[in-house]
Structure 1
Amino acid sequence: MIGRKKKLLLVAGMVNILAISLISCHSNKQGDSTWEYHSHPEDAGWSKKKLNEAKEYYNSLGSTSAMVIYDGKILVEWGDVTKKSNVHSVRKSFLSALYGTHVDNEIIDINATLEELEVTDHEPLSVLEQNAKVEDLLTSRSGIFLRAGEESLLMRWNRPEREAHLPGTYFHYNNWDFNVLGTIFNEKTTKDLFSEFHEKIALPLGMEDYTPEDSFYKYELNRTLHPSYLFRMSARDMARFGQLYLQNGQWAGQQLIPEKWVQTSTSKHTDVPASTEYGYGYMWWVADNGRLQDLGLYSAIGRYGQSIDIVPKENLVFVHRVDSDQFLNRTFNHVNDRNRLRLLEMIIDAKL
């Protein structure tokens, strides 16, 4: 029989183990990241005061997390950067990355037409629409204005009439194009885009939170044959993807994405009449005026305020999140491009 003193020691020991375990879990969640940190912003050439001013502005927006990666290390992180949530249209830049290798090895021909690829939907494509090329889908200029999955009400209201524009001549941000690119990828490569992303990008990058279960197809068969391909990801794993692009597709000595594709896909291919900040590449938004254009900014952007912003001339990656799993965030805390980019410029201005 255990004596009273031994019982107390045993209970105390169990409490200590539990406390250490809880501390460890909290630490592993954020503090023990395999990311390296800049210990002191000033030592890395940044003003702590100005970064704090940027943090105050970040707090005012309703953002839920953000990270700044400078010279490959974390400069600042705000909020819970380990929390996984829907990245929304950032997914399209993930697919763009996957296209790179298969375009390079000629498995996918971006000049192939939808007629040649035998692409169809509930409503068959017209002869004119069949002339659209894979490249037209990559730049959201297919001229095919059919119903699509994951469309917002605004996207539905603004959809042009069919055959209103010739393929390759008119930019219209169109989920039909993007979702069909997922179908084409799977059929031409005979691979699953989620498995490919996990094996060829997530694992080599050492993503810490993302698992294959964080991606799934959303079928809306009452609207279209082509599912949306959705991702949930943490800010710190999104930052790895951004750093991969900042490094021209190279990571730990491996060329994960062809450098030529990185350069081509993040170059402007079309104007975006509705945007004062961006043109469009191959499923990437490309700054096309002012200071941010001069700094080489290009961005993966999703609804409500998701972004991976890459600033090559500052050797910087900025990730911004609004957790849309929360109803109040979806309803009230939308962070638009203008405010997010203002925050990014405040961060850049903190460099000494």
Structure 2
Amino acid sequence: MRRVVAVLCLLMSVVAGGAEAEPWQSVDPASAGWSAEKLNAARDEVVGLNATALMVVRDGKVVASWGDVTRKVNVASVRKSLLSALYGIAISEGRIDLTSTLGDLGIDDKPPALTATEKQATVRDLLMARSGVYHKAAHETADIRRKRPVRGSHAPGTFWFYNNWDFNALGTIYRQRTGEDIFVSFAQRIATPIGMEDFSVADGSYVLEKASIHPAYPFTMTARDLARFGQLFLNGGRWGERQVVPASWVKEATTAYSHTDHGSMGYGYLWWTLNPDVFGPGAALASGFGGQEIAVIPAKHMVVVKVVDRTETKGGRTSRFVDWLKQLTAAAP
């Protein structure tokens, strides 16, 4: 009952407290110091990215955009970085403890149930994709299923594996510890304060599969709203006069704690990190299957968003987007 009341209260605050969104402002790239030649070269490569929409934002203004930035698409694993922001808020408020173990929190799953060792994984282990729990999970790609280690092969905290079980269990933990629905919470705590123009609670859903009790939580969002989320992290969690996400969390979440199997990319708290030798310090990426991307590049004061409607086209690999991103950043002042 308390959880229902909390959700209703959040819904009421979303309706009552939603500020009118201010549309993005645009700026002429040439007057902003961009290399026209290099930017044109990057533009020529956009068609190869198969983007439904793509936005480039620098210093809070749109430098370039392609496609329909108002089209809502399933952003796949970008959902994990969205949840990371909610965790930063909840942890700062003392509602979730990074050191709590699965055993402490009463987290288990369908048979074969978690072992005593697996239940020693902490919330922080899950955020880093280092739980050591290799139970089947909802919304796994074929690649994850193929690469998933054998149960019990790695102790909690000792091995990185991009693991949907970790990510889905984090959704369950968030709902249980805060008493809040993920999508209502995102609308009230993030979307409304930063003036997202399109997101509504109905744009999220829970997806269960037979193998696990922990649902995935896909979001459907537009490129222009994702750009605001990226700008929020570029701003150190601040929007205007309001500290929406703690600045310390933004830094922690986008710090590399693990080397990954994606070349020079690292992994933080539900965020990928980009090679600092190429993109500068603090560069991070929220990335989803099929070409969903939010790149945050502090050294260039820049956010780049790409979304793909996978019902219409294939979006290509993240590595291709990152290669294009190198070309784009070379054009930036």
- Residue 334 in structure 1 maps to residue 320 in structure 2: no
Whole-Å separation in 2 of the counterparts to 1:128 and 1:204: 41
User: Offset of 1:158 from its aligned partner?
Assistant: 1.3
- Residue 211 in structure 1 maps to residue 200 in structure 2: yes
Amino acid across the alignment from 1:350: A
Amino acid across the alignment from 2:265: Y
Q: Please give the per-residue CA displacement for 1:220-275, whole angstroms capped at 9, x wherever unaligned.
A: 1x111001011000101000000000000000210000111111111111121x12
Partner of 2:213: 225
Say whether the 8 Å CA contact 1:132–1:143 is kept in structure 2.
yes
Q: Please give the per-residue CA displacement for 1:272-327, whole angstroms capped at 9, x wherever unaligned.
A: 1x1213110000001245312x343101000011110000011000001221122x
Q: Trace 1:106-185 onto structure 2 (pairs within 5 A).
A: 106-123=94-111, 124-185=113-174
Whole-Å separation in 2 of the counterparts to 1:242 and 1:43: 24
* Greater share of residues in helix: 1
Unaligned runs of 5+ in 1: 1-31
Whole-Å separation in 1 of the counterparts to 2:281 and 2:51: 24
Structure with the greater alpha carbon radius of gyration: 1
User: Offset of 1:33 from its aligned partner?
Assistant: 7.2
Partner of 1:19: none
Say whether the 8 Å CA contact 1:141–1:168 is kept in structure 2.
yes
**Stretch moving more, 154-163 or 43-52:** 43-52
Identity %: 41
Once superposed, what is the RMSD of the aligned Cα atoms?
1.4
Unaligned runs of 5+ in 2: 1-20
Q: Please give the per-residue CA displacement for 1:102-127, whole angstroms capped at 9, x wherever unaligned.
A: 11122100101100101011122101
Q: Please give the per-residue CA displacement for 1:36-63, whole angstroms capped at 9, x wherever unaligned.
A: 110x211111123322221110112322
**Stretch moving more, 152-161 or 240-249:** 152-161
- Number of matched residues? 312
Cα gap change, 1:289 to 1:317, in 2 (>3 Å): closer
Secondary structure of 2:102 counterpart: coil
Residue from 73, 76, 80 that aligns with 1:92: 80
User: Offset of 1:336 from its aligned partner?
Assistant: 1.6
Amino acid across the alignment from 1:335: G
Report the TM-score, using the length of structure 1 for normalisation: 0.86
Say whether the 8 Å CA contact 1:278–1:289 is kept in structure 2.
no
Partner of 2:272: 285
Say whether the 8 Å CA contact 2:276–2:282 is kept in structure 1.
no
Partner of 2:293: 307
Partner of 1:22: none
Amino acid across the alignment from 1:348: T
Residue from 47, 51, 72 that aligns with 1:63: 51
Residue from 28, 31, 56 that aligns with 1:43: 31
Whole-Å separation in 1 of the counterparts to 2:198 and 2:42: 27
Amino acid across the alignment from 1:210: F
Whole-Å separation in 1 of the counterparts to 2:174 and 2:255: 21
Say whether the 8 Å CA contact 2:276–2:283 is kept in structure 1.
no
User: Offset of 1:334 from its aligned partner?
Assistant: 3.5
Say whether the 8 Å CA contact 2:101–2:123 is kept in structure 1.
yes
Q: Trace 1:201-280 onto structure 2 (pairs within 5 A).
A: 201-220=190-209, 222-272=210-260, 274-280=261-267
Residue from 36, 58, 69 that aligns with 1:81: 69
Report the TM-score, using the length of structure 2 for normalisation: 0.91
Say whether the 8 Å CA contact 1:140–1:174 is kept in structure 2.
yes
Secondary structure of 1:110 counterpart: coil
Secondary structure of 1:226 counterpart: strand
Partner of 1:316: 302
